[in-house]
Structure 1
Amino acid sequence: MNRSLLLFITSLFSVSLSAQYSIDLSKIQYPSIEYLKMGNPGPAGQEIKVNNLFLTKGGVPQLPVMGEFHYVRMDERYWKDALLKMKASGVNIVSTYILWSVHEETEGNQVWSGNRDLRKFVELCQETGLLVHLRIGPYCNAEIVDGGLPEWIVKNKNFSERSNDPLYLEYVRKWYKSIYDQVKGLLYKDGGPIWAIQLENEYVTKGMVISHLMNLKRIAVSCGFDMPLYTMTHWMQSDYPKGEIVPYAGFYIERPWIVNGKNENPPTTFEFFTYNRLADDIGTNKIKSQGDIEMLDYSNNESPFFTCEVGVGTTNFYARRAVVPEEMAGANITLRLGCGVNLMGYYMYVGGTNPVGKLNVFGEEPEFSYDYQAPIREFGTLGEVMKETKKLNYFMNDFGKELATQVAYLPKGNNDYDNLQWAVRTDGNSGYLFCSNYLYKHDRPEFKEVQFSVKLKDETIVLPKNKVSIKNGSYFIWPFNLTLDKCILKYATTQPVCKQMQGNVLNYFFFADDAVKAEYLLLKDNIKDIKVYNAKCRSVGKKYYIDDLDEGERSVIDILQNDGNRVRIITLSEADSDNIWHLRNEKKKIDVVALTKSAVTFDNDSIYLTDTLNQQTIQIFDNQKGQFVTSRFDSSGQKPSFSCQARGPMAEADFICTPDDSLIQKTFKYQSLSGIKSAVLRYKADKPVTCFINGKQIKTENLDSYVKADVATCCSNGNNLVQFISSTKNNIVVAEIEIIQKNGTRLLWKTDNTWTGSDQSVPVKFLSGIKPVKYDRKERLVEYEIKVSDWDQIKEESRLYIDFVGDVASVFIGDLQVNDYYFNGDKWILGVSRYKELLRKDPMIIKIKGFETGEENIYLERNIDRSKCVNPQITDIKLKRDYTSSISIFDLNN
């Protein structure tokens, strides 16, 4: 090959490579802004209005952060703690389902107290400074049986639910009126926190979406819901009532409802920059193309791009049990922002435990635990995904005013998923470049020699100065033409997190990606002096170029402006950014930026640090010193003690016999509104014995050390006569029937000294005997008894941290099942102090079932040895308590 041909081919490759990372926005027209006609926007000066692009509050554009928290899934005593953690992590709005079946399990018997006290929950949200978005149904889904529709509605043969049947709509009217009566006076127009309601959920019945949703809206308005915003979930599979209801989108990367056996699920389209929502096609009338660029066509798009279900965690279904990493959350949020999302709604933000009714357990799978690996988990701990989620929340809080007005533009090259994925949001002058080279549970190639070019109307931004490699797993947000008070940051290859105003100093906190070198380019305009620490600064014409940063808490660019005010840029490492907290209270003029691994909240004029370690460290940025200052705390307090003892079957039963009789018997009265889910008989006898229940001989299975039988169909409401008949007298028997009801209640019918012989006057005597020490291997079952002492000395929350192998774990205290857990290889965190009152009377019983073969066709993480899951066991268990330290804001000011 001659040299000229080689140069020609090389130049073609260079042009195509360069084109892949170039976008021409010089002729793009900014969309016209048109406001939607909703309900009452709220008090003067704080009006919430929605246009076709973004939301405003008091006329100021916003990019709200909304987190899902189901109050009925948590003990009301812990609501405020979760709300404070939401607030501290950058959430502005709490969204919550109002689950009809949980409040009205039987017709006419509504419950609005305790964990179902909606009004108290909303008032706590207001006290905490959080707005509320009610999702009023009537259908919700939420992994609740029948989507939260009461059984008596679903089984009513006089109408079809989720339809325009007049009788069904009349029931809905009564339900909506019940909700309104609970929150009357707490709507946004009244000075309360409730600013929006969602009608129905995931409603896609062909030909009925508009009519049904409009019927629901008319009913809600007639009941008193006069709101700044009416919403619906809209997965782009049908039309929606334009101008009347704003559609919300949902984006899940981990989808446990997609079952692919043991294999990884293929990547979803949501892992790339795309305008697609839940369906694979948003509709060609929604996308406008100009050259090599795609954008939403706002001339035909009457609603902003809002979301309510961006998945940052996941629940586990039986057939799929993924453990999600923090990067999944970070990538999902980055992708959504890059595609133009202007309301970030997370599902779930706070995990919980499914409520139990008198008839049934409301949860589907698992029946009890709804931990969701959420940013705030079931028992109040911070999830792994919180690290990425909160830093992006802070970004939306502090830079959302400008970002909300910036339109998203996607290079058409993104449609080829083999290409590097990137996008730009801009108002024509300033904006952000978004990039993602992350694929959940799959690898991406490394892209080398990458340099982006963004052509605007008046200039072309090229970044970074030197070409870089974008490695597998990287994702980031880079600003360009970002205004820092009076200065202009032309671009940075670091990601902004938050900003802090202290006197005449404006501090900006960025962080650097581990795999990309940090650099900044600043215009000299309005800069009187500049100093850098742990970095190099060079004067290049009319700009300052800063690189060679040693990222970390002491990496500071200190700018003195011409007006005498200062701007600081602090460049954190990626590891430091995981530990950042930004606490702000405008009324009390509090603005704190801190680094700590502890959970942080702000309440009652104090900052609280909570951790399971009694020695805690926090670094608070000191504006006077221009650096982080470290404080250390050493908390004291009694550590909880506990015991964990494995035990075998019939542990609570006694050996009994009738010395002069061949019969022992007892009548058990079973009365319950709930039905029997399962009933298992286990017994051991010295000599052969036959069991009868209600006169029916039980077919049994002989195991190694005891006998077992399924007796669910033999037991019934009313009196149940249980008899053991021996061929000889003086036979010693120990037995129990374990009944699990449909509402999760556990009953034990066990042998003790209340049993009799055939002659009722013949007493039953206790005799010693040797019970089975463990469950038979065929049952693949283990049982542990947990006892906690020193409750009176333990004031802080305490939890069990459990490693185990098996299939499904169930937790009982006395007669009540309180939790369950699908084994997924992650550490199981189980709260105990939330059950303190129950545990004072009864120990906690954990029963773990093993897999049948270890080859079950379900998804588990690759690092799990499935063969060990056949023989279930707890491999490690610890009881840890929280330690809490506090810092007064007055101490900070001094």
Structure 2
Amino acid sequence: MPDIDRRTALTATGLAGLGLALPTDALAQTANSLDARKPGLPLKSGHLHMGTGTGPQGRIGITNLYLTRDDRPWLPVMGEFHFTRFPSAYWEEELLKMKAAGVGIVASYVLWNHVELAPGRIDWTGDRDIGRFVRLCQKHGLLFFLRPGPWGHAEARFGGIPDWIAGSTRTRSNDPAYMAQVERFWRGLHDQLSGLMWKDGGPIVGMQVENEYNLGGPGQGREHIAALKALAVRIGFDVPLYTVTGWDQTVYPKGEVVPVHGGYPDEPWSAKTVKLPPKENYLFRFDSRVSGDLGAQTRGGRRGDADSDMADTPFLGAEYGGGVPVMYRRRPLLQPADVAAAVTTQVGSGVNLLGYYMFHGGANPMANGRMLEETQRSGGYNDCPAIAYDFQAPIGQYGEVNPVSAALRPLHYFLAEYGETLAPMTVHAPAVLPADKDDLKTLRWAVRAKGDTGFLFVNNHVRQYGTAAHPGTQFDVTLAGGPVRLPSRPVTIAPGDNFFWPIGMDLDGVRLDWATAQPVTRIADSDGPIHVMAACLPGPVELAFPAGTKVDAPARSEGGRVIVQVPPSATRPVRVTGADGRSVRLLLIDREAAKRIWVGEIGGERRVVLSAADALFGPDGLELRQRGEARFAWQILPGKAAMMTAKATAIAPLPFTQTREAGTAPPIEIGGPAKAAMQPLPEAHKAAAAFSFTIPKDVLAKGGDAFLEIDWRGDIGRLFDGPDMLDDAYWDGRVWRIGLKRFAARLGRPWTLTVMPLRADAPIYLDDAARAKLPAGAQVATLEVLRIVPEYRMEVKA
């Protein structure tokens, strides 16, 4: 694996070989100067051995620089959603949530042991009906990326390989017995997906072969990946794209598969019980695409293939963390900015497929009473909850839209509208770079540019670490058309800021020299196009245009440009007319409004909606949903704000009874593959406290949901209806929220919550904010409050 520090120590030889730009003497070497004139690598195609890219819906292709759709650059957003980890009755509305958040491709593992519940008997019914899931994607204009392992990891037992196959074959190799079982599994899968490949008019555009693969030896390594791809092709998985994960020293046959990359804001799989050093995902990348440890279960002991493949393959992502899981020994909690800053920084580093793992959380199924989660005692590296797979994702385990979604949506909408322009752009490094990932003083920035157009990316956020303020900041960027200094007056880049600005952007024929606002999307009405931008800094947005441009706002002439300072307003578009008479409007929203933005179709027209509620754009129009708040406010742009209040239900504590006092929790065992804290054995739960309560049958509104919120303190919580465990959680400081509609048939009868005590000496990691909630004492196992929070819904007619 390349050393982390090496990735940020640029050399002329290394950058030139990758077609990346090195600072030159052509531009005055200020602290914030950058030469963006180097054109980058020449475009080439046809050298990668992919499947059929042409179908009734058009053509999907791949070059060494970017993906293409109908021969035009294409930069899609892909989000992971495991169909077997969510009730099939609600798949359709969850897919609509993903689409509303700007996801265009749904990816999913097909975890083998989720569908083969007994030896030789694969069940594709109910929550395992992948054919129905993919057809629902197709119904709503979503593409699908297939990830069928056969080893998938996904925090599943044996990486998803059934026990009887793990115990009787040499897995993850060309062992004939293993490959025969894989062929049986994949042939059954192909039967379910008949007619759904892209070439047949279906939505399946890609297939990932294996996962986190870095093994060597007879029948392993590149030979095994080649054999798996050949098997897939022979069975009939003919798709435009074949990929393999590219991190942790992965190996693969060059040209047969394309590496995809990722990175996470924390490492729940780490054995450390303290705050981790700054993650490298908050640095711009210039000479490597491979992030640090992403949690592969094996170690290759050699340099992986992905770095040496950079000149021939585009920078594609599959596992940028939309969140992170909570594992037994390590329970980090993310803030929305932790995810948004890392992801935007990687796009600024050249990512041309933004793939998330996970975008939608879920829950592990059981196989005939057997648990399927990864545990150290079963040979895995991690201990995971038996059921919960929430992942702190943009859409949670019960379909709740979480605040991180709001932090990501503006970027997704930008890529959907302007990704064709961004994708061919070369990444350029500034003259002064941070010394390494621990350097929190040097400003982190980069430019993606082509010709005299580009985007300037800035990141001044690092999870759990304070970064320096940068007052008096301007940027000197030299494009093909000459040098540009922006903005016209110095600004302050505050700690935590993360954004990108356009330079030389074409707005329907009107040139925008720069803006201190982030482009979000483009809509149109009878009066022409409207480009929506979000302010990045406090105060007015600065817009700069070529001389001769007319702007219906107070302007000044400076340096041969027209400069305007415009306060953000969601109701007052700014009209701009170029010297040739072409006209366009800009709608500038502030940073708070950007957190409430949604883009989708209403009545067949693409519209922008501002609302703190969650939005779904369905065939019947716009639907808004929100938890615990009956008052809805929204604005459809361009247009006026509206407000309405639904019939409210009082939120009151739910009574409960403690039925068993906590015993003394046993000391936590250190061991397992990670040589770290191991979750207690099942017998240890006899020390758990127990609480009983009953949820009234009438808490669910017609067609809606309600959420049980559990404020508790302890180590492990488990929720039971009689002997059936409904959910579980490791305590991490959050209120535990459980959606009730999937348990509708169980309401009205007593449920039991057990709380395993958390020892004061437990060798586990908790964020400081969580630890601050723990009382003094040898152990804690308490239930503070139970409450039912209703979900309100509102249909909006355009």
Fold agreement, TM-score > 0.5: yes
Partner of 2:634 in structure 1? 618
Which of the numbers 863, 871, 881 marks the counterpart of 2:780?
A: 871
CA deviation vs aligned residue, 1:740-794 (integer Å, no higher than 9, x gap): x99x9x9xxxxxxxxxxxxxxxxxxxxxxxxxxxx99x94624232322326865
Residues 630-639 or 870-879, more deviating? 630-639
Partner of 2:350 in structure 1? 340
Partner of 2:36 in structure 1? 25
Question: Structure 1 vs Structure 2: percent identity of aligned residues?
Answer: 30
Q: In structure 2, how many angstroms separate the alpha carbons of the residues matched to 1:792 and 1:556?
A: 42
1:195 deviates by 1.0
Preserved CA contact (<8 Å) 2:654 2:788: no
Partner of 1:101 in structure 2? 113
Partner of 1:885 in structure 2? 794
Pairing of 1:847-858 with structure 2 (within 5 A): 847-853=754-760, 856-858=763-765
Which of the numbers 51, 76, 83 marks the counterpart of 1:64?
A: 76
Q: Structure 1 800/584 Cα, relative in aligned 2: closer, same or farther at 3 Å?
A: same
Q: Report the residue type matching 1:274 in the other structure.
A: R
How many residues were matched structurally? 732
Partner of 1:674 in structure 2? none
* Structure 1 residue ranges without an equivalent (≥5): 1-14, 288-296, 623-627, 651-681, 683-702, 710-740, 747-774
Residues 56-65 or 271-280, more deviating? 271-280
Q: Report the residue type matching 2:404 in the other structure.
A: V
Q: Report the residue type matching 1:319 in the other structure.
A: R
Partner of 1:40 in structure 2? 52
Correspondence 1:313 to 2:323: yes
Pairing of 1:173-572 with structure 2 (within 5 A): 173-206=183-216, 208-235=220-247, 237-261=249-273, 263-275=274-286, 276-278=288-290, 301-364=311-374, 365-411=384-430, 413-417=432-436, 418=439, 419-515=442-538, 518-524=541-547, 527=549, 529-532=550-553, 536-540=554-558, 542-547=560-565, 549-554=566-571, 556-561=573-578, 566-572=583-589
Preserved CA contact (<8 Å) 1:382 1:599: yes
1:286 deviates by 8.3
Q: Structure 1 439/141 Cα, relative in aligned 2: closer, same or farther at 3 Å?
A: same
Q: In structure 2, how many angstroms separate the alpha carbons of the residues matched to 1:272 and 1:197?
A: 29
Preserved CA contact (<8 Å) 1:799 1:832: yes
CA deviation vs aligned residue, 1:610-652 (integer Å, no higher than 9, x gap): 1122220101112xxxxx41122222376698843123139xx
Q: Structure 1 205/192 Cα, relative in aligned 2: closer, same or farther at 3 Å?
A: same
Partner of 2:165 in structure 1? 153
Q: In structure 2, how many angstroms separate the alpha carbons of the residues matched to 1:87 and 1:152?
A: 38
Q: Structure 1 90/199 Cα, relative in aligned 2: closer, same or farther at 3 Å?
A: same
Q: In structure 2, how many angstroms separate the alpha carbons of the residues matched to 1:242 and 1:115?
A: 36
Pairing of 1:601-616 with structure 2 (within 5 A): 601-612=616-627, 613-616=629-632
1:557 deviates by 1.9
> The residue matched to 2:766 in structure 1 has which SS?
coil
Partner of 1:845 in structure 2? 752
Preserved CA contact (<8 Å) 2:540 2:567: no
Q: Which has the higher contact order (CA 8 A, sep 6+)?
A: 2
Q: Structure 1 350/249 Cα, relative in aligned 2: closer, same or farther at 3 Å?
A: same
Q: Report the residue type matching 2:750 in the other structure.
A: P
Q: Structure 1 278/819 Cα, relative in aligned 2: closer, same or farther at 3 Å?
A: farther
1:508 deviates by 1.2
Q: Structure 1 871/646 Cα, relative in aligned 2: closer, same or farther at 3 Å?
A: farther
Q: In structure 1, how many angstroms separate the alpha carbons of the residues matched to 2:443 and 2:71?
A: 38
Q: In structure 1, how many angstroms separate the alpha carbons of the residues matched to 2:33 and 2:701?
A: 64
Partner of 1:761 in structure 2? none
Preserved CA contact (<8 Å) 1:323 1:861: no
Q: Report the residue type matching 1:410 in the other structure.
A: A
1:503 deviates by 3.1
Q: In structure 2, how many angstroms separate the alpha carbons of the residues matched to 1:450 and 1:649?
A: 61
CA deviation vs aligned residue, 1:519-552 (integer Å, no higher than 9, x gap): 1101245x4x4213xxx422336421012x3334
Q: In structure 2, how many angstroms separate the alpha carbons of the residues matched to 1:843 and 1:524?
A: 73
Preserved CA contact (<8 Å) 2:699 2:706: no
Q: In structure 2, how many angstroms separate the alpha carbons of the residues matched to 1:522 and 1:562?
A: 10
Q: In structure 2, how many angstroms separate the alpha carbons of the residues matched to 1:611 and 1:17?
A: 52
1:877 deviates by 2.5
Q: In structure 2, how many angstroms separate the alpha carbons of the residues matched to 1:575 and 1:829?
A: 26
1:161 deviates by 0.5
Q: Structure 1 595/444 Cα, relative in aligned 2: closer, same or farther at 3 Å?
A: same
Q: In structure 2, how many angstroms separate the alpha carbons of the residues matched to 1:218 and 1:830?
A: 44
Preserved CA contact (<8 Å) 1:855 1:867: no
CA deviation vs aligned residue, 1:303-326 (integer Å, no higher than 9, x gap): 110010001211101111121101
Q: In structure 2, how many angstroms separate the alpha carbons of the residues matched to 1:469 and 1:642?
A: 46
Q: In structure 1, how many angstroms separate the alpha carbons of the residues matched to 2:640 and 2:544?
A: 28
Pairing of 1:43-54 with structure 2 (within 5 A): 43=55, 46-54=58-66
TM-score, scaled to structure 1:
0.77
> The residue matched to 2:78 in structure 1 has which SS?
strand
Q: Structure 1 331/111 Cα, relative in aligned 2: closer, same or farther at 3 Å?
A: same
Q: In structure 1, how many angstroms separate the alpha carbons of the residues matched to 2:292 and 2:743?
A: 45
> The residue matched to 1:414 in structure 2 has which SS?
coil
Q: In structure 2, how many angstroms separate the alpha carbons of the residues matched to 1:54 and 1:27?
A: 18
Q: Report the residue type matching 1:877 in the other structure.
A: L
Q: Structure 1 343/369 Cα, relative in aligned 2: closer, same or farther at 3 Å?
A: same
Q: In structure 2, how many angstroms separate the alpha carbons of the residues matched to 1:194 and 1:63?
A: 17
Partner of 1:798 in structure 2? 706
Q: In structure 2, how many angstroms separate the alpha carbons of the residues matched to 1:252 and 1:521?
A: 36
1:258 deviates by 1.6
Q: In structure 1, how many angstroms separate the alpha carbons of the residues matched to 2:729 and 2:266?
A: 19
Residues 242-251 or 407-416, more deviating? 407-416
* Structure 2 residue ranges without an equivalent (≥5): 1-25, 294-301, 375-383, 667-679
1:355 deviates by 0.8
Preserved CA contact (<8 Å) 1:68 1:347: yes
Preserved CA contact (<8 Å) 1:640 1:788: no
Q: In structure 1, how many angstroms separate the alpha carbons of the residues matched to 2:342 and 2:574?
A: 31
CA deviation vs aligned residue, 1:228-272 (integer Å, no higher than 9, x gap): 1111111162443222111101111221112321x2111122221
Q: Report the residue type matching 1:118 in the other structure.
A: I
> The residue matched to 2:617 in structure 1 has which SS?
strand
Partner of 2:643 in structure 1? 632
Q: Structure 1 286/210 Cα, relative in aligned 2: closer, same or farther at 3 Å?
A: closer
CA deviation vs aligned residue, 1:810-858 (integer Å, no higher than 9, x gap): 0111221010111111222111121111235x32221112212365443
Partner of 1:811 in structure 2? 719
Residues 85-94 or 565-574, more deviating? 565-574
Preserved CA contact (<8 Å) 1:104 1:110: yes
1:444 deviates by 1.1
Preserved CA contact (<8 Å) 2:153 2:160: yes
TM-score, scaled to structure 2:
0.86
Preserved CA contact (<8 Å) 1:105 1:151: no
> The residue matched to 1:576 in structure 2 has which SS?
helix
Q: Report the residue type matching 2:734 in the other structure.
A: D
Preserved CA contact (<8 Å) 2:653 2:786: no
CA deviation vs aligned residue, 1:649-673 (integer Å, no higher than 9, x gap): 39xxxxxxxxxxxxxxxxxxxxxxx
Q: Structure 1 62/155 Cα, relative in aligned 2: closer, same or farther at 3 Å?
A: same
Partner of 1:823 in structure 2? 731
Q: Report the residue type matching 2:156 in the other structure.
A: I
Q: Report the residue type matching 2:561 in the other structure.
A: K
